[in-house]
């Protein structure tokens, strides 16, 4: 059980493989792009209107900083470290990653890890909390599935049982404490940008605009990037590696997701510290883990080996 939950035997322990062989229809593919692009274009279009009175360089700088900080807390911390054990970390690093991940407002750490381990244990099958294929493969089913995988599943009040999926996390008092402090970290991540924006511009208006861009927009933007891994990266993209689900590599999201969009490799080899393993596949999270390793902050990093990759390649 534990092995499956941690994903380490995902590849070797092949069960029956429901491979959905049908190619994706044109309309679902177009729909997927539109869902993502139109709201995003609207957001970008708002920028020139706001520039100079409701948006300035301080807001941009704060938004970029908090985006990067909380995104890496989620990808390196919540995902690669806590969920999959891609490396070992010293206590201070462990606590720091748990806090920065919590500040992305994707739920308390125990929920996040339990949900994500369940996703890997049942990927694109019954029991997966967020498979876009949950309702079938017709265009209508896929539109419904896209919504469900992207954000609909979050509103389900049934919570994944952390005692079953994350007993190792529950056993750690630091983690239990940070999990309970989720409300406090929510306040910190929402209030730190306006405090800094107010101080840097020495104005109340600077606090207001920083709150809008570096708190609200930044949190929402990272939500959508993260959720896109669950929705887009199980529908659209390439599948060069052997995973027993529908996970894909989707290059347009590689930078914004800090490497998480190389999702096909991730499902093929869940404990790997690097997801972007092919030539030119930028993986910022893997680079941070590499840096931490150089500083001696983390150890036993599971870097991919050529032999392992050869075994995983289709
Ligand atoms: Zn996935
Ligand atoms: Zn994962």
Q: What is the spatial distance between Cα 308 and Cα 186, in angstroms, rounded to a whole number? A: 40
Instruction: Report the separation in Å between the CA atom of 127 and the middle of ligand 1, taken as the mean of its atom positions.
Output: 13
Instruction: Report the separation in Å between the CA atom of 247 and the middle of ligand 1, taken as the mean of its atom positions.
Output: 6
What was the pLDDT predicted at 17?
Answer: 57
**214's tokens:** 């570096």
Residue appearing with tokens 């792009």: 33
Burial class (CB in 10 A: 0-12, 13-18, 19+), 140: exposed
Higher-scoring residue by pLDDT: 17, 287: 287
pLDDT of 10 above 80: no
What was the pLDDT predicted at 99?
Answer: 98
What was the pLDDT predicted at 38?
Answer: 80
Ligand nearest to the CA of 117: 2
Residue appearing with tokens 């596949």: 281
Protein residues within 5 Å, CB atom, of ion ligand 1: 247
Q: State the pLDDT confidence band at 36, using cuts at 50, 70 and 90.
A: low
Return the bridge partners of 299, or none.
88
Q: What is the spatial distance between Cα 175 and Cα 177, in angstroms, rounded to a whole number? A: 5
Instruction: Report the separation in Å between the CA atom of 183 and the middle of ligand 2, taken as the mean of its atom positions.
Output: 25
Q: State the pLDDT confidence band at 20, using cuts at 50, 70 and 90.
A: very low
Q: By percentage, how much of the chain surpasses pLDDT 90?
A: 79
Ligand nearest to the CA of 244: 1
Positive/negative CA dihedral, 283, 235, 7, 164: positive
What was the pLDDT predicted at 13?
Answer: 54
Task: Report, as an integer, the average pLDDT of 213-232.
Answer: 94
Instruction: Report the separation in Å between the CA atom of 84 and the middle of ligand 2, taken as the mean of its atom positions.
Output: 7
Using one digit for the tens of pLDDT, what is the confidence trace for 68-112? 999 999 999 999 999 999 999 999 999 999 999 999 999 999 999
Closest C-alpha to 293, from 91, 69, 87 = 87
Task: Report, as an integer, the average pLDDT of 150-166.
Answer: 89
Q: How far does CA 102 lie from the centroid of its chain?
A: 12
What was the pLDDT predicted at 14?
Answer: 58
Ligand nearest to the CA of 261: 1
Q: Residues 70, 301, 178, CA angle at the centre, nearest 5°?
A: 40
Higher-scoring residue by pLDDT: 34, 223: 223
Task: Report, as an integer, the average pLDDT of 37-47.
Answer: 80
pLDDT of 25 above 60: yes
Using one digit for the tens of pLDDT, what is the confidence trace for 44-65? 888 888 888 889 999 999 999 9
Instruction: Report the separation in Å between the CA atom of 194 and the middle of ligand 1, taken as the mean of its atom positions.
Output: 34
Instruction: Report the separation in Å between the CA atom of 289 and the middle of ligand 2, taken as the mean of its atom positions.
Output: 16
Ligand nearest to the CA of 230: 1
Q: What is the spatial distance between Cα 201 and Cα 185, in angstroms, rounded to a whole number? A: 24
What was the pLDDT predicted at 179?
Answer: 96
Q: What is the spatial distance between Cα 72 and Cα 257, in angstroms, rounded to a whole number? A: 9
Instruction: Report the separation in Å between the CA atom of 48 and the middle of ligand 2, taken as the mean of its atom positions.
Output: 37
Q: State the pLDDT confidence band at 286, using cuts at 50, 70 and 90.
A: very high
Higher-scoring residue by pLDDT: 262, 46: 262
Q: What is the spatial distance between Cα 275 and Cα 261, in angstroms, rounded to a whole number? A: 8
Residues 6 or more apart whose CB falls under 8 angstroms from that of 31 comprise 139, 142, 143, 146
Ligand nearest to the CA of 247: 1
Instruction: Report the separation in Å between the CA atom of 281 and the middle of ligand 1, taken as the mean of its atom positions.
Output: 18
């Amino acid at each position: 059980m534990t092995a499956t939950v941690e994903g380490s035997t995902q590849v070797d322990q092949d069960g029956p493989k429901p491979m959905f062989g049908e190619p994706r229809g044109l309309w679902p593919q177009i729909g997927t792009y539109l869902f993502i692009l139109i709201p995003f274009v609207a957001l970008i279009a708002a920028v020139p209107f706001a520039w100079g009175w409701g948006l300035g360089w301080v807001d941009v700088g704060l938004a970029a900083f908090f985006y990067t900080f909380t995104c890496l807390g989620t990808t390196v911390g919540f995902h690669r470290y806590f969920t999959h054990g891609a490396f070992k970390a010293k206590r201070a690093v462990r606590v720091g990653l748990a806090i920065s991940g919590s500040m992305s407002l994707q739920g308390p750490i125990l929920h996040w890890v339990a949900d994500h381990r369940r996703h890997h244990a049942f990927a694109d099958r019954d029991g997966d909390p967020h498979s876009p294929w949950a309702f079938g493969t017709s265009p209508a089913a896929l539109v419904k599935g896209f919504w469900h995988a992207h954000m609909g599943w979050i509103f389900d009040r049934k919570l994944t049982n952390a005692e079953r999926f994350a007993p190792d996390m529950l056993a750690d008092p630091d983690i239990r404490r940070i999990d309970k402090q989720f409300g406090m970290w929510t306040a910190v991540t929402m209030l730190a940008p306006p405090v800094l924006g107010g101080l840097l511009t020495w104005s109340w208006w600077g606090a207001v605009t920083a709150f809008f861009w570096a708190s609200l927009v930044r949190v929402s933007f990272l939500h959508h990037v993260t959720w896109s891994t669950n929705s887009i990266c199980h529908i659209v993209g390439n599948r060069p590696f052997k995973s027993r689900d529908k996970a894909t590599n989707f290059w347009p999201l590689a930078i914004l997701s800090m490497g998480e969009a190389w999702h096909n490799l991730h499902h093929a080899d869940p404990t790997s510290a690097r997801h972007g393993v092919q030539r030119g596949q930028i993986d910022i999270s893997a680079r941070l883990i590499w840096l931490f390793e150089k500083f001696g902050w983390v150890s036993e990093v599971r870097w991919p080996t050529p032999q392992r990759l050869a075994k995983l390649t289709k």
